[in-house]
Amino acid sequence: MTGYPGFGVLLARLLDHRKLDIGTLARQSGVPEPELQRVFAGIAPSPALLRQLGPALGLHAADVFVIAGATVPDDLAPVDAEASRWVPQVVRRAVELPSEKKSELRHLVRSLPQRKVVQSPAFPRVDVPPPGPPGALLVRMLRYRNLHWMGIARVFHSLTGRYWSASTYGMVGAGRKELTPDLVADFGTVLGIPAGDLGALTGGPPSEEPHAQEPAAVGVAELIWDLRRLTADQVRHTGKAAASMWSPRPDPQR
């Protein structure tokens, strides 16, 4: 797949991968089957329909808007673009935490008050064009998690152990770098979406072996998702909290 084939095509590929039919999706989403048929035929879906499909597909509503090439509503977009500077730091600290501390950190994030969208000329609101090549869809999903190219590179390194330059991820988004099965699996780790689903959406070759997620990465994709609704000050506060939760393992020789 070299260009964006349309939401109906991508939705059909995802259902085929999951071995679901349109009738099942209609029942699970509450969207009448004739309305879904029109979407499969290429009619642009309404924002309300996209929101309904999210829970039925097990996807965040914002991701469904991205897959549809639609404008993501303000209430689903990051609150403060400046906070993107601090997200990789929180992720790096979170990876070092045991599972119970990760859960504690997520509880902290979810307990923080929700602020209004922050407008800053220096850090404009996330606003990226509809996807073109397959990689653009995946990079756009990350943009709505408040991750830009440099942040993507740093977060991927923390969660997968692989480091590529920020410009390399830019090439992925522009379709100038191939989406290999391993790369799709890495995107799945950061997005919290099964690699098989992403492979179906991007039309890439399936991985020959199941991808085992690193234990340290478990739960961090959900944390990244939660962080997008915090301001820069709140994310900095979260980073300090994560650092205070971390303590080096005792030396067994002592």
Q: For residue range 144-202, what is the model confidence (pLDDT) as tens digits?
A: 999 999 999 999 999 999 889 999 999 999 889 989 999 999 999 999 999 999 999 99
Q: For residue range 31-88, what is the model confidence (pLDDT) as tens digits?
A: 999 999 999 999 999 999 999 999 999 999 999 999 999 999 989 999 999 999 999 9
* Cα distance from N-terminal residue to C-terminal residue, the chain: 57
CB-based contact 31:47 (threshold 8 Å): no
Cα maximum dimension of the chain: 69
Please tell me the distance from the alpha carbon of residue 21 to that of residue 214, in angstroms, as a whole number. Answer: 33
We find that the CATH architecture of domain 7-71 is Orthogonal Bundle (1.10)
129 band by pLDDT with thresholds 50, 70 and 90: low
Q: Is 237 exposed, middle or buried, given 0-12, 13-18 or 19+ CB atoms closer than 10 A?
A: middle
Predicted confidence (pLDDT) at residue 122 exceeds the cutoff of 60: no
pLDDT of residue 251: 47
CB-CB neighbours of 84 under 10 Å? 22
Domains of the chain, by residue range, sit at 7-71, 81-245
SS3 content of the chain, % helix, strand, coil (to 5): 60, 0, 40
Distance of CA 183 to the CA centre of its chain: 14
Contacts 24+ apart (CB under 8 A), 49-55: 53/11, 53/25, 53/29, 55/29
Q: What is the pTM of this model?
A: 0.90
- Which whole number is the average pLDDT over 223-241? 96
pLDDT of residue 120: 65
243 band by pLDDT with thresholds 50, 70 and 90: very high
